[in-house]
Amino acid sequence: MSTKKPAYIQQRSWFWMSLVAKMSSDSQVQDKLVNNNRSRRNANDFIFGKLIGEGSFSVVYLAKDIHTSKEYAIKVCEKQLIVREKKQEYVKREREALNILSGTPGFLSLYCTFQDTSKLYFVMTYAKNGTLLQLLEKTKAFDNSAAKFYSAQILQSIEQMHNNKIIHRDLKPENILLDEHFHTMIADFGSARIGDTGADCNSSNDSEKEKSDSDSDEGNNRRKYLKHKRGSFVGTAQYVSPEIIKGKPSSRASDLWSLGCIIYQLVAGVPPFRGPNDYLIFQKITRLELEFPSDFDEGAKDLVSKLLVLDPKNRLGARDNSPYASIRNHHFFEATDFSAIRKAVSPVVHSSEGIVVAKDGSENDGFNFPDHITPGLDDKHLTRLMGLELGVSPDVPSSSSDVKSSTNISEIDRITKLEKQKSDLWHQFVEGELILKQGFVNKRKSALYVPRRRMLLLTSGPRLIYIDPVQMIKKGEIPWSAELKVEAKNFKNFFVHTPHRTYYLEDPKGYALEWCQAIKETYDKIYGK
């Protein structure tokens, strides 16, 4: 019997070996982690403290080197998921961009990489103060000095990227991290374009092609949207440029569009283009449906209006050679010393509110690694990191919810409740159904992923809808069927099992049992006990 591995397994093994070999080839980068490193690192060289971030096929942990006690952010990529989702190129782009930009102020540094049989590990700079999005959530909006400070740092990083022939293509507050001084560090280069970054912006055929596009045609936009959802779209809806939405080539000006969106959000507290779903957001972008609050700073308004221009060639800075002098010289940045911006004190930290935000959005009192934690990242460690090591599911009865009374009412009472519900902020997402239960939960994409804060709505449909409360966008639904099952793990954590996926949910206030009771009562009403 032949012991030769099938071709696809050989190909996958070759990919991981070649990728890690390339990532580990620079001995100077490796020596940044440990001097005179004589053996390849592995997960047992680190204590994994807590989850601090997530991507589409990876999670990020705060970890401590057992040899030096230095803290790092370790991005852990699941090989099986990368192959299944065909994201190999994303991993390679991330590695290449990080290697190019490591050591440059304004970016994460990649210190080393290693792998085991199922995972690939990136050991990177630990951003002690989380993301710019978390800081915005805490402050709601920045004053003028803070908006200028962060806009200037981001612009400077964009210049560095473009000088190195890198277009990020997914710039957003969530991908901008904050170091111990609350200075920005750009991260997440999986969607980046590397090399040949400028020529396509000045294509002479673009304007004629745009004339043939019917932006107001609902059918054309729907087809474009569905095409993007199949995988050709890169970026995040609120910040993506119109040329990328239309399937045209990206350029350096695509990042300048994202800069305009970010400056708007720094000043207003919300992105410039908003809607209940990505499709409607895309329509607002391609039609440039842009409105400014009445109290929006006039200098920022003028700058944003010159960056958020549909034709990339006409955006402010698009015709500059980096650095972007026309943007730097805009009156919004008056008196800004770009040469000293990386040494300046963040105006947010020293504001009258005394705001200090941690990596998880809580008050920043640091994280202490418990003495009992052992190195490594096996199943036992993953269970601990999920916060589910408290034992078996509790069977303490929960207090009855209002679900029974809401599912057994007359039509007149239902209409009365619906009329009253219209004043509820979340009514717009339920399409005329009664909200039986609502509350903020932390939702995980899977057991290995860091939770995202969501508003969870249980409706009379029955439906379980989850909303991004910052962007005010419906992110998805937990599908109902006769096979749906709910399970309380403890007083905070509960699972909703469906035929194709388990949803990991946490009620931070400790009402997991009530959620399970409410979902079960709704299930019994529809499918019977």
- Residue 80 to residue 430: CA distance in whole angstroms: 36
- Cis amide prior to 242 (ω within 30 degrees): no
Which bin fits 184, alpha (ψ -120 to 50), beta or left (φ > 0)? beta
- The rounded radius of gyration (Å) of the Cα atoms in the chain is 25
Which bin fits 236, alpha (ψ -120 to 50), beta or left (φ > 0)? beta
Residue showing tokens 């022939």: 165
Q: Is-contact 91 160, C-beta < 8 A? A: no
- Residue 190 to residue 58: CA distance in whole angstroms: 11
Catalytic option among 26, 31, 45, 170: 170
Q: Could you give the strand order of the β-sheet that contains 485-488, starting from the edge strand earlier in sequence?
A: 473-478, 463-468, 452-459, 435-444, 501-506, 493-498, 485-488
- Residue 96 to residue 26: CA distance in whole angstroms: 12
The yes-or-no answer on residue 188 being catalytic is no
User: Which two tokens mark 17?
Assistant: 């070996």
Q: What are phi and psi of 437, to 5 degrees?
A: -155, 145
**Residues comprising the chain, all counted:** 529
Handedness of CA 426, 427, 433, 437 (dihedral sign): positive
- Residue 281 to residue 485: CA distance in whole angstroms: 34
Tell me, what DSSP letter sits at residue 452?
A: E
Q: What are phi and psi of 176, to 5 degrees?
A: -110, 110
Instruction: Provide the 3-class DSSP secondary structure of residue 391.
Output: coil
If you write DSSP's letter for every residue of 184-214 in order, what string do you get? EEE---TT-EES--SGGGG-TTHHHHHHH--
Q: Is-contact 308 257, C-beta < 8 A? A: yes
Residue showing tokens 């009403």: 525
- Residue 174 to residue 439: CA distance in whole angstroms: 23
- Residue 43 to residue 119: CA distance in whole angstroms: 10
| The pairing of beta strand 119-124 with beta strand 71-78 | antiparallel
Residue showing tokens 């990136």: 122
Distance of CA 295 to the CA centre of its chain: 29
If you write DSSP's letter for every residue of 415-463 in order, what string do you get? HHHHHHHTTSTTGGGSTT--EEEEEEEEEESSTTS--EEEEEEEETTTE
- Residue 507 to residue 511: CA distance in whole angstroms: 6
- Residue 332 to residue 457: CA distance in whole angstroms: 42
Q: Is-contact 306 316, C-beta < 8 A? A: yes
- The residues annotated as belonging to the active site are 170
